[in-house]
Amino acid sequence: MTKARENYREDVAGRANVEDTPELLAYYNDLERLDAGALWTVANKIEPWQPKSASVPVLWRYRDLRDHVLRSVDLVTPEKAGRRVIYLNNPGRQDVAAAVGWLYSGLQVMHPGETASAHAHSASALRFIMEGAGAYTIVDGHKMTLGANDFVLTPNGTWHEHGVAEDGAPCIWQDGLDIPLVNALEANFYAVHEDLRQVVGYPVNDSTAIWANPGLQPVGTDWGKPYSPLLKFEWGPTYEALQRYSRVTDGSPYDGVLMNYVNPLTGGPVMQTIGASMQLLRPGERTKAHRHTGSFIYQVAKGKGYSIIDGKRFDWQERDIFCVPSWAWHEHGNASESEDACLFTFNDLPVMQSLGLYREEAFGDNDGQQPLVA
Ligand SMILES: [Fe+2]
Ligand SMILES: [Fe+2]
């Protein structure tokens, strides 16, 4: 018996365009029984003309999510939950628990005195602090204290744990990981530290003391790891750098004043699979639209404004999170005429670039700005 099949024919020279016949359908069935198939039946589906993201643009408003995040404190302990996190679930990527593309993100909450057990995984991870006081992270024995808008790395394979000091205040931060990517590559390992805690083996905040001095490289240090030795990027110097840079540059037409967080030893991305940056939109600034490969998750670190993503406008304010799927048109605007706005973002650009898959295109029409779709 032959059965109906999906048909991806395209009437374009060079593309598969084979009409189903009873004989061919029978042939396809024969192949299927041998765990094989005829490429022309699926070629146009598996090789789209351009990237086809399964993700949709989403804006997660902090004012909508915050109470629910805090509620999790009464519902589960960090011990039982492992990590008490509310994750961001893109409607198009629920099967892989991704916020966009192959990137995972979630909001984690901890109360003073709470700690999460030490663990390690193949996924690379980062945290961006949203609110609270007294948060800390320990990465391979390096303890770092954290404040709002600080950005900290927990690279692939490192032992890490998080907590909030007894005299702190409830903390919420954003986690960002490439769990979906590492799972897609079928390379994910997870381990819980045998003592559940690691020993702090270095002076607190030694990472920034050694590596966060711009233009200065410490003598007598040794670092052979494939990720940044600077594990924490503080908000104060980051914002100051953006302000200084903004005084002497027109910035990017697509991103305003943008600076990448980098490995100070290489100038390259902070981790092998995840890149991150902070950008400043000057008062009233509106960028032009472009699109590129790679998935991006933004958090509004400061100010208010809007982004237009594939023709749809998303109005954001401080602490809101939104995503830009691969190859989606996007442009940003600062809604204030007097205050700057800052967007933190992390992305899979290091993967795109190292695999030779990065591509970028400007929106040529309409003076570079997208018309809004209803
Ligand atoms: Fe982790
Ligand atoms: Fe972009």
Residues 206, 231 share a domain: yes
Residues 89, 187 share a domain: yes
Residue 228 structure tokens: 């940044």
Residues 32, 70 share a domain: no
Query: 29, 49, 69: which is the final residue of a domain?
Result: 49
How many angstroms is it from 107 CA to the middle of ligand 2?
24
The H helix count followed by the E strand count for the chain is 8, 20
Q: Whole domain around residue 254: which residue ranges?
A: 59-368
- Which numbered ligand comes closest to the C-alpha of 308? 2
Residues 300, 281 share a domain: yes
- Which numbered ligand comes closest to the C-alpha of 328? 2
How many angstroms is it from 78 CA to the middle of ligand 1?
13
1 pLDDT more than 90: no
How many angstroms is it from 202 CA to the middle of ligand 2?
38
Residue 105 located in a structural domain: yes
Residues 203, 342 share a domain: yes
Residues 180, 154 share a domain: yes
Residues 94, 42 share a domain: no
Residues 77, 85: Cα–Cα separation, whole Å = 11
- Which numbered ligand comes closest to the C-alpha of 345? 2
Find the CATH number of the domain harbouring 151: 2.60.120.10
Strand, coil or helix: what is 212?
Answer: coil
How many angstroms is it from 272 CA to the middle of ligand 1?
16
How many angstroms is it from 115 CA to the middle of ligand 1?
13
How many angstroms is it from 190 CA to the middle of ligand 2?
32
Residues 77, 75: Cα–Cα separation, whole Å = 7
CB 248 within 8 A of CB 298: no
Q: What is the pLDDT of residue 78?
A: 83
Residue 107 located in a structural domain: yes
Residues 185, 251 share a domain: yes
Each residue's pLDDT tens digit, 289-309: 999 999 999 999 999 999 999
The total domain count for the chain is 2
How many angstroms is it from 78 CA to the middle of ligand 2?
36
Each residue's pLDDT tens digit, 41-78: 999 999 999 999 999 999 999 999 999 999 999 999 88
Residue 374 located in a structural domain: no
Query: 49, 67, 82: which is the final residue of a domain?
Result: 49
- CA dist 329 → 14, 169, 370 (Å): 28, 39, 8
Residues 7, 122 share a domain: no
Residues 26, 34: Cα–Cα separation, whole Å = 13
Query: 49, 68, 87: which is the final residue of a domain?
Result: 49
Residue 340 located in a structural domain: yes
Q: What is the pLDDT of residue 4?
A: 67
Residues 15, 162 share a domain: no
Residue 25 structure tokens: 């359908």
Residues 6, 84 share a domain: no
Residue 136 structure tokens: 């800390």
DSSP H or E stretch at residue 25: helix 22-33
How many angstroms is it from 241 CA to the middle of ligand 2?
20
Residue 8 located in a structural domain: yes
CA angle (309 as vertex; 305, 314 as ends), nearest 5? 35
Each residue's pLDDT tens digit, 319-372: 999 999 999 999 999 999 999 999 999 999 999 999 999 999 999 999 999 999
- Any alpha helices (H) in 234-322, and if so which ranges? 235-246
How many angstroms is it from 258 CA to the middle of ligand 2?
10
29 pLDDT more than 90: yes
Residue 351 located in a structural domain: yes
Residues 167, 24 share a domain: no
Residue 114 located in a structural domain: yes
How many angstroms is it from 254 CA to the middle of ligand 2?
6
How many angstroms is it from 116 CA to the middle of ligand 1?
9
